[in-house]
Structure 1
Amino acid sequence: MELWYTEKQTESFGITAKIRETLVTEQTDFQKLDMIDTEEFGRMLVLDGMVMTTIKDEFVYHEMVAHPALFTHPNPKHVLVVGGGDGGVIREVLKHPGVEKAVLVEIDGKVIEYSKKFLPEIAGQLENSRVEVIVNDGFMHIHDHKNTYDVIMVDSTEPVGPAAPLFERGFYQGIFEALKEDGIFVAQTDNPWFKADLIQKVNRDVKEIFPITRVYAANIPTYPSGMWTFTMGSKKHDPLQVDETQIPELETKYYTPRLHKAAFVLPKFVEDLTK
Protein backbone atom coordinates (compact mmCIF):
# COMPACT_ATOMS: atom_id res chain seq x y z
CA MET A 1 0.00 0.00 0.00
CA GLU A 2 1.30 3.46 -0.92
CA LEU A 3 0.79 6.51 1.30
CA TRP A 4 0.72 10.00 -0.19
CA TYR A 5 0.57 13.46 1.36
CA THR A 6 -1.29 16.17 -0.56
CA GLU A 7 -1.24 19.88 0.20
CA LYS A 8 -4.28 21.56 -1.34
CA GLN A 9 -2.67 24.80 -2.43
CA THR A 10 -6.02 26.04 -3.71
CA GLU A 11 -9.44 24.42 -3.78
CA SER A 12 -8.58 23.14 -7.26
CA PHE A 13 -4.83 22.46 -7.15
CA GLY A 14 -2.41 20.61 -4.91
CA ILE A 15 1.08 19.13 -4.60
CA THR A 16 1.54 15.47 -3.70
CA ALA A 17 4.45 13.52 -2.26
CA LYS A 18 4.84 9.81 -1.53
CA ILE A 19 5.42 9.15 2.18
CA ARG A 20 7.93 6.74 3.68
CA GLU A 21 6.94 7.35 7.28
CA THR A 22 4.97 9.69 9.52
CA LEU A 23 7.34 10.81 12.27
CA VAL A 24 5.10 13.16 14.27
CA THR A 25 1.51 14.29 14.16
CA GLU A 26 0.34 16.61 16.92
CA GLN A 27 -2.12 19.41 17.58
CA THR A 28 -0.03 22.01 19.39
CA ASP A 29 -1.47 24.99 21.26
CA PHE A 30 -1.31 26.94 18.01
CA GLN A 31 -1.52 24.65 14.97
CA LYS A 32 -1.53 21.13 13.56
CA LEU A 33 2.07 19.94 13.26
CA ASP A 34 3.18 17.00 11.14
CA MET A 35 6.69 15.76 10.44
CA ILE A 36 6.80 13.27 7.60
CA ASP A 37 9.53 11.52 5.64
CA THR A 38 8.90 11.64 1.89
CA GLU A 39 10.47 9.72 -0.99
CA GLU A 40 11.25 12.79 -3.10
CA PHE A 41 12.01 15.60 -0.65
CA GLY A 42 13.12 13.78 2.47
CA ARG A 43 11.89 14.89 5.89
CA MET A 44 9.18 17.53 5.64
CA LEU A 45 7.66 19.88 8.22
CA VAL A 46 3.97 20.57 7.67
CA LEU A 47 1.94 23.11 9.66
CA ASP A 48 -1.84 23.28 9.31
CA GLY A 49 -1.59 21.24 6.13
CA MET A 50 1.01 23.52 4.50
CA VAL A 51 4.59 22.51 3.67
CA MET A 52 7.00 24.68 5.65
CA THR A 53 10.33 23.14 4.73
CA THR A 54 11.94 19.98 3.39
CA ILE A 55 15.46 18.62 3.57
CA LYS A 56 15.87 18.70 -0.22
CA ASP A 57 14.93 22.30 -1.05
CA GLU A 58 15.09 24.19 2.26
CA PHE A 59 18.30 26.00 1.36
CA VAL A 60 16.60 28.17 -1.26
CA TYR A 61 14.14 29.78 1.12
CA HIS A 62 16.48 30.15 4.07
CA GLU A 63 19.31 31.64 2.02
CA MET A 64 17.02 34.06 0.22
CA VAL A 65 15.41 35.31 3.41
CA ALA A 66 18.78 35.99 5.03
CA HIS A 67 21.47 37.03 2.57
CA PRO A 68 19.92 39.78 0.39
CA ALA A 69 19.14 41.88 3.47
CA LEU A 70 22.37 41.12 5.32
CA PHE A 71 24.49 42.04 2.31
CA THR A 72 22.45 45.21 1.74
CA HIS A 73 23.04 46.47 5.27
CA PRO A 74 26.67 47.64 5.62
CA ASN A 75 27.15 46.44 9.20
CA PRO A 76 24.40 44.20 10.59
CA LYS A 77 25.21 43.32 14.19
CA HIS A 78 21.84 42.63 15.78
CA VAL A 79 19.35 40.52 13.84
CA LEU A 80 15.83 39.38 14.72
CA VAL A 81 14.05 36.42 13.14
CA VAL A 82 10.29 36.30 13.78
CA GLY A 83 8.98 32.77 13.35
CA GLY A 84 11.46 30.43 11.72
CA GLY A 85 11.40 27.87 14.51
CA ASP A 86 13.00 25.30 12.21
CA GLY A 87 16.24 27.30 12.55
CA GLY A 88 17.13 27.54 8.87
CA VAL A 89 17.22 31.33 8.65
CA ILE A 90 19.27 31.50 11.87
CA ARG A 91 21.77 29.07 10.33
CA GLU A 92 22.21 31.39 7.35
CA VAL A 93 22.42 34.54 9.49
CA LEU A 94 25.32 33.05 11.43
CA LYS A 95 27.34 32.73 8.21
CA HIS A 96 27.87 36.49 8.55
CA PRO A 97 30.73 36.93 11.04
CA GLY A 98 29.79 40.53 11.78
CA VAL A 99 26.47 39.48 13.33
CA GLU A 100 27.01 39.63 17.08
CA LYS A 101 23.57 38.44 18.16
CA ALA A 102 20.69 36.71 16.39
CA VAL A 103 17.39 36.54 18.25
CA LEU A 104 14.75 33.99 17.25
CA VAL A 105 11.20 34.60 18.45
CA GLU A 106 8.92 31.64 17.67
CA ILE A 107 5.40 31.43 19.07
CA ASP A 108 5.20 27.62 18.97
CA GLY A 109 7.87 25.86 20.99
CA LYS A 110 6.89 22.52 19.50
CA VAL A 111 8.21 23.64 16.10
CA ILE A 112 11.62 24.23 17.69
CA GLU A 113 11.52 20.96 19.62
CA TYR A 114 10.66 18.72 16.69
CA SER A 115 12.94 20.56 14.27
CA LYS A 116 15.90 19.93 16.55
CA LYS A 117 14.96 16.26 16.71
CA PHE A 118 14.04 15.53 13.09
CA LEU A 119 15.66 18.35 11.08
CA PRO A 120 19.15 18.70 12.61
CA GLU A 121 20.61 19.79 9.26
CA ILE A 122 18.36 22.85 9.45
CA ALA A 123 18.08 23.48 13.20
CA GLY A 124 21.68 22.69 14.10
CA GLN A 125 22.68 26.27 14.99
CA LEU A 126 19.86 27.09 17.41
CA GLU A 127 22.13 26.46 20.39
CA ASN A 128 24.98 28.57 19.03
CA SER A 129 26.34 31.07 21.56
CA ARG A 130 25.39 34.01 19.30
CA VAL A 131 21.73 32.92 19.25
CA GLU A 132 18.97 33.72 21.72
CA VAL A 133 15.81 31.63 21.31
CA ILE A 134 12.59 33.07 22.74
CA VAL A 135 9.27 31.20 22.70
CA ASN A 136 6.81 34.07 22.51
CA ASP A 137 4.60 36.19 20.28
CA GLY A 138 6.75 37.93 17.66
CA PHE A 139 4.20 40.74 17.32
CA MET A 140 4.60 41.63 21.01
CA HIS A 141 8.39 41.28 20.90
CA ILE A 142 8.52 43.82 18.08
CA HIS A 143 6.28 46.17 20.06
CA ASP A 144 8.51 45.94 23.14
CA HIS A 145 11.88 46.49 21.40
CA LYS A 146 12.09 49.95 19.84
CA ASN A 147 15.27 50.99 18.00
CA THR A 148 16.93 47.64 18.71
CA TYR A 149 17.71 45.72 15.51
CA ASP A 150 19.73 46.31 12.37
CA VAL A 151 17.84 43.68 10.38
CA ILE A 152 14.49 41.99 11.05
CA MET A 153 13.41 38.90 9.11
CA VAL A 154 9.84 37.61 9.18
CA ASP A 155 9.85 33.87 8.52
CA SER A 156 6.17 33.11 8.94
CA THR A 157 3.61 30.66 7.66
CA GLU A 158 0.94 31.88 5.26
CA PRO A 159 -1.45 34.51 6.72
CA VAL A 160 -3.71 32.11 8.59
CA GLY A 161 -3.91 31.18 12.27
CA PRO A 162 -1.14 32.57 14.50
CA ALA A 163 0.66 34.15 11.53
CA ALA A 164 -2.26 36.33 10.38
CA PRO A 165 -1.19 39.45 12.37
CA LEU A 166 2.25 39.27 10.75
CA PHE A 167 0.79 40.45 7.44
CA GLU A 168 -0.94 43.57 8.77
CA ARG A 169 0.15 47.17 8.30
CA GLY A 170 0.41 47.68 12.07
CA PHE A 171 3.03 44.95 12.27
CA TYR A 172 5.15 46.60 9.59
CA GLN A 173 4.88 49.91 11.44
CA GLY A 174 6.06 48.14 14.58
CA ILE A 175 9.00 46.68 12.65
CA PHE A 176 9.94 50.16 11.42
CA GLU A 177 10.06 51.37 15.02
CA ALA A 178 12.03 48.31 16.21
CA LEU A 179 14.72 48.92 13.59
CA LYS A 180 17.62 51.31 14.05
CA GLU A 181 17.90 54.41 11.88
CA ASP A 182 19.34 52.52 8.90
CA GLY A 183 17.54 49.23 9.49
CA ILE A 184 16.18 46.75 6.96
CA PHE A 185 13.39 44.20 7.16
CA VAL A 186 12.39 41.35 4.89
CA ALA A 187 9.35 39.08 4.89
CA GLN A 188 8.20 36.16 2.80
CA THR A 189 5.16 37.30 0.83
CA ASP A 190 3.81 34.16 -0.82
CA ASN A 191 3.38 33.53 -4.55
CA PRO A 192 2.05 35.61 -7.47
CA TRP A 193 0.00 32.85 -9.09
CA PHE A 194 -2.44 32.23 -6.24
CA LYS A 195 -1.86 35.17 -3.86
CA ALA A 196 -1.41 38.19 -6.11
CA ASP A 197 -3.73 40.26 -3.91
CA LEU A 198 -1.56 39.54 -0.85
CA ILE A 199 1.61 40.69 -2.64
CA GLN A 200 -0.15 43.89 -3.71
CA LYS A 201 -1.45 44.58 -0.20
CA VAL A 202 1.89 43.99 1.52
CA ASN A 203 3.76 46.04 -1.07
CA ARG A 204 1.33 48.93 -0.64
CA ASP A 205 1.52 48.82 3.17
CA VAL A 206 5.32 48.61 3.27
CA LYS A 207 5.67 51.46 0.75
CA GLU A 208 3.62 53.69 3.04
CA ILE A 209 6.11 53.10 5.87
CA PHE A 210 9.56 52.51 4.35
CA PRO A 211 11.26 54.90 1.91
CA ILE A 212 12.75 51.96 -0.02
CA THR A 213 10.60 48.91 -0.87
CA ARG A 214 11.73 46.08 -3.12
CA VAL A 215 10.26 42.71 -4.10
CA TYR A 216 12.38 39.76 -5.19
CA ALA A 217 11.73 36.13 -6.03
CA ALA A 218 13.16 32.61 -5.86
CA ASN A 219 12.21 29.14 -7.04
CA ILE A 220 11.10 26.75 -4.29
CA PRO A 221 9.52 23.58 -5.71
CA THR A 222 7.51 22.52 -2.64
CA TYR A 223 5.87 25.93 -2.16
CA PRO A 224 2.65 26.79 -4.02
CA SER A 225 3.40 27.36 -7.74
CA GLY A 226 7.18 27.11 -7.18
CA MET A 227 7.67 30.87 -7.52
CA TRP A 228 8.00 32.61 -4.16
CA THR A 229 8.30 36.31 -3.38
CA PHE A 230 9.96 38.28 -0.61
CA THR A 231 9.39 41.92 0.25
CA MET A 232 12.17 44.11 1.64
CA GLY A 233 11.63 47.43 3.39
CA SER A 234 14.64 49.62 4.09
CA LYS A 235 15.09 52.95 5.86
CA LYS A 236 18.26 53.90 3.98
CA HIS A 237 20.06 51.17 2.01
CA ASP A 238 18.88 50.02 -1.42
CA PRO A 239 19.65 46.40 -2.37
CA LEU A 240 19.91 47.49 -6.00
CA GLN A 241 22.78 49.84 -5.15
CA VAL A 242 24.95 47.13 -3.59
CA ASP A 243 28.29 46.58 -5.31
CA GLU A 244 28.05 42.87 -6.02
CA THR A 245 31.80 42.66 -6.58
CA GLN A 246 32.23 43.43 -2.87
CA ILE A 247 29.93 40.63 -1.71
CA PRO A 248 32.07 37.79 -0.33
CA GLU A 249 31.37 34.24 -1.41
CA LEU A 250 29.61 32.20 1.25
CA GLU A 251 28.99 28.48 1.54
CA THR A 252 25.59 28.55 -0.17
CA LYS A 253 23.65 26.47 -2.67
CA TYR A 254 21.33 29.10 -4.18
CA TYR A 255 22.35 32.66 -3.32
CA THR A 256 25.42 34.10 -5.05
CA PRO A 257 26.80 37.64 -5.38
CA ARG A 258 25.61 37.77 -9.01
CA LEU A 259 22.15 36.62 -7.99
CA HIS A 260 21.83 39.44 -5.45
CA LYS A 261 20.51 41.99 -7.96
CA ALA A 262 19.19 39.43 -10.44
CA ALA A 263 16.62 38.21 -7.90
CA PHE A 264 14.97 41.63 -8.02
CA VAL A 265 14.39 41.36 -11.79
CA LEU A 266 10.79 40.16 -11.90
CA PRO A 267 8.56 38.82 -14.66
CA LYS A 268 6.26 41.57 -15.87
CA PHE A 269 3.10 40.11 -14.32
CA VAL A 270 4.86 40.06 -10.93
CA GLU A 271 6.43 43.49 -11.40
CA ASP A 272 2.96 44.87 -12.15
CA LEU A 273 1.82 43.79 -8.68
CA THR A 274 4.38 46.12 -7.10
CA LYS A 275 3.30 49.31 -8.91
Structure 2
Amino acid sequence: MSVWFTEKQTKSFGITGKVRRTLESEQTDFQQLEMLETEEFGNMLLLDGMVMTSEKDEFVYHEMITHIPLFTHPSPKKVLVVGGGDGGTIREVLKHPDVESVMQVEIDGKVVEYSKKHLPTISSSYGDARAELLIGDGFEHIIKSEGVYDVILVDSTEPVGPAAGLFTKGFYAGIAKALKEDGIFVAQTDNPWFKSELIKHVMRDASEVFPITRLYTCNIPTYPSGMWTFTMGSKVYDPLDVSMENISELDTKYYTPELHHASFVLPRFVNRLLDKE
Protein backbone atom coordinates (compact mmCIF):
# COMPACT_ATOMS: atom_id res chain seq x y z
CA MET A 1 0.00 0.00 0.00
CA SER A 2 1.35 3.43 -0.94
CA VAL A 3 2.04 5.95 1.82
CA TRP A 4 1.73 9.68 1.08
CA PHE A 5 2.16 12.78 3.16
CA THR A 6 0.32 16.05 2.61
CA GLU A 7 1.40 19.49 3.76
CA LYS A 8 -1.70 21.63 4.22
CA GLN A 9 -0.45 24.99 3.00
CA THR A 10 -3.80 26.68 3.57
CA LYS A 11 -7.09 25.41 4.99
CA SER A 12 -8.12 24.35 1.50
CA PHE A 13 -4.87 23.64 -0.39
CA GLY A 14 -1.83 21.44 0.06
CA ILE A 15 0.91 19.48 -1.69
CA THR A 16 1.45 15.76 -1.42
CA GLY A 17 4.29 13.33 -2.01
CA LYS A 18 4.89 9.60 -1.90
CA VAL A 19 6.91 8.36 1.06
CA ARG A 20 9.21 5.35 0.96
CA ARG A 21 9.77 5.31 4.70
CA THR A 22 9.85 7.44 7.82
CA LEU A 23 13.43 7.89 9.01
CA GLU A 24 12.70 9.89 12.17
CA SER A 25 9.61 11.15 13.97
CA GLU A 26 10.01 12.99 17.26
CA GLN A 27 8.34 15.69 19.29
CA THR A 28 11.33 17.80 20.32
CA ASP A 29 11.27 20.46 23.00
CA PHE A 30 10.18 22.96 20.33
CA GLN A 31 8.35 21.25 17.45
CA GLN A 32 7.29 18.03 15.75
CA LEU A 33 10.21 16.83 13.63
CA GLU A 34 9.96 14.29 10.82
CA MET A 35 12.62 13.07 8.44
CA LEU A 36 11.11 11.27 5.46
CA GLU A 37 12.60 9.38 2.54
CA THR A 38 10.44 10.40 -0.42
CA GLU A 39 10.17 9.06 -3.95
CA GLU A 40 10.49 12.40 -5.77
CA PHE A 41 12.67 14.65 -3.60
CA GLY A 42 14.89 12.27 -1.63
CA ASN A 43 15.27 12.74 2.10
CA MET A 44 13.07 15.55 3.38
CA LEU A 45 12.92 17.43 6.68
CA LEU A 46 9.52 18.47 8.05
CA LEU A 47 8.85 20.64 11.10
CA ASP A 48 5.30 20.80 12.44
CA GLY A 49 4.11 19.23 9.19
CA MET A 50 5.81 21.83 6.96
CA VAL A 51 8.54 21.01 4.45
CA MET A 52 11.79 22.69 5.47
CA THR A 53 14.19 21.21 2.94
CA SER A 54 14.77 18.26 0.64
CA GLU A 55 17.81 16.77 -1.02
CA LYS A 56 16.52 17.51 -4.53
CA ASP A 57 15.68 21.22 -4.35
CA GLU A 58 17.50 22.53 -1.26
CA PHE A 59 20.16 24.34 -3.27
CA VAL A 60 17.72 26.99 -4.47
CA TYR A 61 16.83 28.28 -1.03
CA HIS A 62 20.31 28.04 0.44
CA GLU A 63 22.01 29.74 -2.50
CA MET A 64 19.50 32.57 -2.73
CA ILE A 65 19.40 33.44 0.97
CA THR A 66 23.21 33.56 0.97
CA HIS A 67 24.83 34.76 -2.22
CA ILE A 68 22.67 37.83 -2.88
CA PRO A 69 23.66 39.55 0.41
CA LEU A 70 27.23 38.23 0.46
CA PHE A 71 27.91 39.59 -3.03
CA THR A 72 26.13 42.84 -2.16
CA HIS A 73 28.44 43.45 0.80
CA PRO A 74 31.96 44.27 -0.45
CA SER A 75 33.73 42.53 2.45
CA PRO A 76 31.55 40.10 4.41
CA LYS A 77 33.94 38.81 7.05
CA LYS A 78 31.67 37.99 9.99
CA VAL A 79 28.32 36.31 9.28
CA LEU A 80 25.50 35.21 11.57
CA VAL A 81 22.92 32.58 10.61
CA VAL A 82 19.79 32.46 12.77
CA GLY A 83 18.14 29.05 12.44
CA GLY A 84 19.06 26.89 9.48
CA GLY A 85 19.83 23.77 11.48
CA ASP A 86 20.07 21.63 8.35
CA GLY A 87 23.41 23.35 7.61
CA GLY A 88 22.77 24.36 4.01
CA THR A 89 23.10 28.09 4.58
CA ILE A 90 26.47 27.90 6.31
CA ARG A 91 27.65 25.58 3.51
CA GLU A 92 26.90 28.33 0.99
CA VAL A 93 28.33 31.11 3.22
CA LEU A 94 31.64 29.28 3.41
CA LYS A 95 32.00 29.33 -0.38
CA HIS A 96 32.96 33.00 0.00
CA PRO A 97 36.70 33.33 0.65
CA ASP A 98 36.31 36.73 2.38
CA VAL A 99 34.27 35.14 5.17
CA GLU A 100 36.46 34.70 8.25
CA SER A 101 33.78 33.26 10.53
CA VAL A 102 30.14 32.22 10.49
CA MET A 103 28.17 31.81 13.70
CA GLN A 104 25.00 29.74 13.57
CA VAL A 105 22.42 29.96 16.36
CA GLU A 106 19.85 27.16 16.11
CA ILE A 107 17.25 26.72 18.84
CA ASP A 108 16.59 23.01 18.25
CA GLY A 109 19.63 20.74 18.46
CA LYS A 110 17.61 17.80 17.16
CA VAL A 111 17.36 19.50 13.74
CA VAL A 112 21.15 19.59 13.55
CA GLU A 113 21.50 16.03 14.83
CA TYR A 114 19.11 14.47 12.34
CA SER A 115 20.34 16.63 9.44
CA LYS A 116 23.89 15.39 9.99
CA LYS A 117 22.54 11.84 9.99
CA HIS A 118 20.13 11.98 7.05
CA LEU A 119 21.09 15.07 5.01
CA PRO A 120 24.90 14.75 4.74
CA THR A 121 25.22 16.74 1.51
CA ILE A 122 23.39 19.67 3.11
CA SER A 123 25.06 19.55 6.54
CA SER A 124 28.54 18.95 5.13
CA SER A 125 30.17 22.15 6.44
CA TYR A 126 29.60 21.71 10.16
CA GLY A 127 33.19 20.59 10.59
CA ASP A 128 34.68 23.66 8.91
CA ALA A 129 37.10 25.60 11.11
CA ARG A 130 35.39 28.91 10.24
CA ALA A 131 31.96 27.70 11.41
CA GLU A 132 30.69 27.81 14.99
CA LEU A 133 27.39 26.32 16.12
CA LEU A 134 25.49 27.58 19.15
CA ILE A 135 22.35 25.77 20.27
CA GLY A 136 20.22 28.55 21.66
CA ASP A 137 17.72 31.33 21.01
CA GLY A 138 18.64 33.45 17.98
CA PHE A 139 16.50 36.35 19.19
CA GLU A 140 18.41 36.48 22.48
CA HIS A 141 21.75 36.24 20.69
CA ILE A 142 20.81 39.17 18.47
CA ILE A 143 19.75 41.31 21.42
CA LYS A 144 23.06 40.66 23.19
CA SER A 145 25.17 41.57 20.13
CA GLU A 146 26.15 45.08 19.06
CA GLY A 147 28.08 46.06 15.94
CA VAL A 148 29.42 42.53 15.49
CA TYR A 149 28.29 41.19 12.12
CA ASP A 150 28.66 42.23 8.49
CA VAL A 151 25.76 40.04 7.34
CA ILE A 152 22.92 38.38 9.25
CA LEU A 153 20.83 35.66 7.58
CA VAL A 154 17.52 34.70 9.19
CA ASP A 155 16.93 31.13 8.02
CA SER A 156 13.76 30.50 10.00
CA THR A 157 10.60 28.46 9.75
CA GLU A 158 7.26 30.15 9.15
CA PRO A 159 6.12 32.62 11.86
CA VAL A 160 4.70 30.01 14.21
CA GLY A 161 6.05 28.46 17.39
CA PRO A 162 9.70 29.31 18.19
CA ALA A 163 10.06 31.45 15.02
CA ALA A 164 7.15 33.82 15.70
CA GLY A 165 9.39 36.48 17.24
CA LEU A 166 11.63 36.55 14.18
CA PHE A 167 9.02 38.43 12.11
CA THR A 168 8.64 41.56 14.22
CA LYS A 169 9.88 45.14 13.99
CA GLY A 170 11.62 44.74 17.33
CA PHE A 171 13.65 41.85 15.93
CA TYR A 172 14.67 43.89 12.89
CA ALA A 173 15.73 46.73 15.18
CA GLY A 174 17.82 44.25 17.13
CA ILE A 175 19.39 43.02 13.90
CA ALA A 176 20.30 46.60 12.95
CA LYS A 177 22.05 47.00 16.31
CA ALA A 178 23.91 43.70 15.92
CA LEU A 179 25.15 44.68 12.45
CA LYS A 180 28.14 46.88 11.74
CA GLU A 181 27.59 50.37 10.29
CA ASP A 182 27.41 49.00 6.73
CA GLY A 183 25.67 45.71 7.56
CA ILE A 184 23.05 43.74 5.62
CA PHE A 185 20.40 41.27 6.70
CA VAL A 186 18.21 38.89 4.71
CA ALA A 187 15.24 36.88 5.97
CA GLN A 188 13.03 34.36 4.25
CA THR A 189 9.55 35.87 4.04
CA ASP A 190 7.27 33.16 2.63
CA ASN A 191 5.20 33.49 -0.55
CA PRO A 192 2.97 36.21 -2.04
CA TRP A 193 0.13 33.87 -3.01
CA PHE A 194 -0.85 32.73 0.48
CA LYS A 195 1.05 35.10 2.81
CA SER A 196 0.68 38.49 1.17
CA GLU A 197 -0.11 40.27 4.45
CA LEU A 198 3.00 38.84 6.07
CA ILE A 199 5.18 40.18 3.25
CA LYS A 200 3.55 43.60 3.44
CA HIS A 201 4.10 43.81 7.18
CA VAL A 202 7.72 42.63 7.00
CA MET A 203 8.57 45.10 4.24
CA ARG A 204 6.88 47.92 6.14
CA ASP A 205 8.62 47.11 9.42
CA ALA A 206 12.04 46.51 7.84
CA SER A 207 11.85 49.74 5.83
CA GLU A 208 11.30 51.68 9.06
CA VAL A 209 14.61 50.30 10.35
CA PHE A 210 16.80 50.04 7.23
CA PRO A 211 17.28 52.80 4.61
CA ILE A 212 17.46 50.24 1.79
CA THR A 213 14.86 47.47 1.74
CA ARG A 214 14.37 45.08 -1.18
CA LEU A 215 12.22 42.03 -1.92
CA TYR A 216 13.44 39.28 -4.24
CA THR A 217 12.11 35.91 -5.35
CA CYS A 218 13.06 32.42 -6.47
CA ASN A 219 11.35 29.15 -7.37
CA ILE A 220 11.29 26.30 -4.83
CA PRO A 221 8.93 23.47 -5.85
CA THR A 222 8.39 21.97 -2.38
CA TYR A 223 7.52 25.33 -0.75
CA PRO A 224 3.97 26.74 -0.75
CA SER A 225 3.03 27.96 -4.24
CA GLY A 226 6.59 27.37 -5.52
CA MET A 227 7.26 31.12 -5.49
CA TRP A 228 9.35 32.20 -2.51
CA THR A 229 10.45 35.61 -1.26
CA PHE A 230 13.35 37.01 0.71
CA THR A 231 13.50 40.46 2.27
CA MET A 232 16.79 42.33 2.44
CA GLY A 233 17.52 45.26 4.73
CA SER A 234 20.76 47.17 4.16
CA LYS A 235 22.33 50.15 5.89
CA VAL A 236 24.48 51.23 2.93
CA TYR A 237 24.70 48.84 -0.01
CA ASP A 238 22.00 48.35 -2.64
CA PRO A 239 21.99 44.92 -4.30
CA LEU A 240 20.90 46.56 -7.55
CA ASP A 241 24.12 48.59 -7.64
CA VAL A 242 26.36 45.51 -7.63
CA SER A 243 28.32 45.14 -10.87
CA MET A 244 28.27 41.68 -12.42
CA GLU A 245 32.04 42.02 -12.86
CA ASN A 246 32.32 41.97 -9.07
CA ILE A 247 30.37 38.71 -8.74
CA SER A 248 32.80 35.81 -8.92
CA GLU A 249 31.74 32.42 -10.21
CA LEU A 250 30.92 29.94 -7.48
CA ASP A 251 29.96 26.29 -7.52
CA THR A 252 26.20 26.89 -7.66
CA LYS A 253 23.18 25.24 -9.26
CA TYR A 254 20.69 28.13 -9.21
CA TYR A 255 22.36 31.45 -8.45
CA THR A 256 24.18 33.26 -11.26
CA PRO A 257 25.55 36.81 -11.64
CA GLU A 258 22.69 37.59 -14.02
CA LEU A 259 20.12 36.20 -11.58
CA HIS A 260 21.49 38.45 -8.84
CA HIS A 261 19.75 41.39 -10.51
CA ALA A 262 16.91 39.52 -12.20
CA SER A 263 15.57 38.13 -8.92
CA PHE A 264 14.56 41.68 -7.91
CA VAL A 265 12.31 42.06 -10.97
CA LEU A 266 8.91 41.37 -9.42
CA PRO A 267 5.63 40.37 -11.05
CA ARG A 268 3.08 43.16 -11.21
CA PHE A 269 0.80 41.64 -8.56
CA VAL A 270 3.74 41.59 -6.12
CA ASN A 271 4.67 45.20 -6.93
CA ARG A 272 1.06 46.18 -6.31
CA LEU A 273 1.14 44.26 -3.05
CA LEU A 274 4.07 46.45 -2.01
CA ASP A 275 2.38 49.62 -3.34
CA LYS A 276 5.05 49.94 -6.04
CA GLU A 277 2.42 50.88 -8.62
TM-score normalized by the length of structure 2: 0.99
Q: Which residue of 2 aligns with 1:100?
A: 100
Q: Deviations over 1:29-82 (max 9, x none)?
A: 000000000000000000000000000000000000000000000000000000
Return the alpha-carbon distance in structure 2 between the equivalents of residues 123 and 103 of structure 1. 15
Q: Distance in 2 between matches of 1:89 and 1:269?
A: 29
Structure 2 residue 49 is matched with structure 1 residue 49: yes
Q: Indicate the SS of the match to 1:69.
A: helix
Structure 1 Cα separation of the partners of residues 166 and 267 of structure 2: 26
Where does residue 38 of structure 1 map in the other structure?
38
Equivalent position of 1:235 in the other structure: 235
- Partner-residue secondary structure (3-state), 2:191: coil
1:126 to partner: Cα distance: 1.1
- Deviation at 1:273? 2.2
> Which residue number in structure 2 is paired with residue 8 of structure 1?
8
Q: Partner of 1:5: helix, strand, or coil?
A: strand
Task: Provide the C-alpha distance between the structure 1 equivalents of 2:237 and 2:246, rounded to a whole number of angstroms.
Answer: 15
Match of 1:224 in 2: 224
Aligned counterparts of 1:113 and 1:156: Cα–Cα separation in 2: 17
Alignment of 1:19-30 (within 5 A): 19-30=19-30
- 1:142 aligns with 142
Counterpart code for 1:144: K
What CA distance in whole angstroms lies between the structure 2 residues aligned with 1:196 and 1:126? 35
The residue identity in structure 2 corresponding to 1:50 is M
The answer on whether the counterparts of 1:203 and 1:231 sit within 8 Å (CA) in structure 2 is: yes
Matched, 1:247 2:247: yes
Residue 128 of structure 2: SS of its match in structure 1?
coil
Q: Distance in 2 between matches of 1:143 and 1:272?
A: 34
RMSD (Å) for aligned C-alpha atoms? 0.5
Which residue in the other structure is 2:192 paired with? 192
Cα-to-partner distance string for 1:90-116 (whole Å, 9 max, x where unaligned): 000000011000000000000000000
Asked if the contact 1:62–1:88 (Cα under 8 Å) also holds between the matched residues in 2, the reply is yes
Once the two structures are superposed, the pairs formed by residues 71-86 of structure 1 within 5 Å of their partners are 71-86=71-86
The whole-number CA distance in structure 2 between the counterparts of 1:74 and 1:39 is 42
Residues 255-270 of structure 1 mapped to structure 2, 5 A cutoff: 255-270=255-270
Partner Cα distance (2:131, 2:246) in 1: 27
The AA in structure 2 aligned to 1:16 is T
In structure 1, what is the equivalent of residue 211 of structure 2? 211
Aligned to 2:59: 59
Matches within 5 A, 1:154-165: 154-165=154-165
Matched position secondary structure for 1:260: helix
**Equivalent in the alignment of 1:129:** 129
Q: Which runs of 4+ in 1 moved over 6 A?
A: none
| SS of equivalent residue, structure 1 residue 20 | strand
Which residue type is aligned with residue 67 of structure 2?
H
* Contact 1:72/1:239 (8 A) holds in 2: yes
Q: Is the 8 A contact 1:215 1:274 kept in 2?
A: no
| Inter-partner Cα distance in structure 2 for 1:168 and 1:81 | 17
**Long gaps (5+) in structure 1:** none
Once the two structures are superposed, what CA deviation does each residue of 1:236-259 show, in whole Å capped at 9, x if it has no partner?
000000001221110000000010
